[in-house]
Amino acid sequence: MRELHISKANIRDTQFALVKQAPVGEGQARLKLDLFALTSNNVTYAAMGTGMLGYWDFFPASEGFGKVPVWGFGTVTESNAPDIAVGSRFYGYYPLAESLDVIPKKTATGFVDTAPHRAPKAALYNVYTDISLDPAYNANYEPEQTLFRPLYGTGWWAADFIKQADAKTVVLSSASSKTALATAHQLRNLGGTEVIGLTSPGNEAYVRESGLYHRVVLYDDAASLKVQAPATYVDFLGRAELNATVHRTLGNALKRSIIIGVTDWAGERASAPLPGPKPEFFFVPTYAAERLKADPQLGPAMMRDLRAFYPASHAFVAPRRLTGADAIQTAWTQLCAGETSPRDGLVLSWS
């Protein structure tokens, strides 16, 4: 089995590994990864691979390397697990490898991987959904699902989180990133908030043409930001200098600062406290679980909006299908280097 191992010290450095697979044991199943996406979200997983979130821990690799998690579809090729049939197909969280061995525990819509090393992780990441039982599945939009299903969910719940604070203005960094687009899309759906996108000169035209932002501001012009209070800043970039500028410029108007991503993974991190509200990390699994306890109808609402977004996403992103190990490695390298057009949705398969 081929795997792409990524250096934890420098995520641009990669190497292929040919791993000999053990026989599928009793109670286990093996899934072949059919289709998956690579986006800046996966770069965030790698950049935050160690520490509190520990994304490298999901799929261990050789010393000093990790297998970055990806979202996609896999087909069961071998099974010694009750109720998990060969040929069945599941959407979920996979390693950047040709296949994944799981210890499945059946659920109403699929299974949970009960592998001991995954037990301490957020439950959302261990859930695999049978496409025949999946309310969010649409056979006509599989590439769109690999690209946007996890990102749209993050954006949808982030918009819900933001609206709880009744912000009049929301400023999003890395406005061309797919999670930022999803957040802006849902904020526009909810209404009542001015949405401002911060971006680079190279992506300015794309962000303006998306139609999702009321205003578009270049990073170099962030010191000139004017907003209506109360304002919320949502950071998908992770660039310390920009964050400090936004905090200083918005001053007392800034009531909440939220961290979601790190698209600028190589940038300098903040070493001193920022003026104004302390940045808070938005972790979807925890927030969504609490909100669903309080209002179970949010679940069906999110699924309905997600299905509607698959065709709507074509206005912003075109899926770009790529096949083969070399294409996967090249796509990862270009993504890390910021050389991928925001219009391209990288949808890949091993063969």
Total-model pTM: 0.89
Look at residue 40 in the predicted model and tell me its pLDDT: 85
CA distances (Å), 82 to each of 28, 103, 105, in order? 9, 11, 9
pLDDT for 183 beyond 90: yes
pLDDT for 337 beyond 80: yes
Where are the extended beta strands (E) located within 207-293? Answer: 215-218, 231-235, 254-259, 280-281
Look at residue 200 in the predicted model and tell me its pLDDT: 95
pLDDT-derived band at 224 (thresholds 50, 70, 90) equals very high
Q: Do you know the residue count of the chain?
A: 351
pLDDT for 235 beyond 90: yes
Look at residue 262 in the predicted model and tell me its pLDDT: 67
**306, burial (CB in 10 Å: exposed 0-12, middle 13-18, buried 19+):** buried
Between 240 and 95, residue with greater pLDDT: 95
pLDDT for 263 beyond 70: no
- Give the Cα separation of 20 and 24 in Å (integer): 12
Tens-place pLDDT, residues 276-288: 899 999 988 899 9
DSSP assigned state of 48: T
Residue identified by tokens 């203005």 is: 169
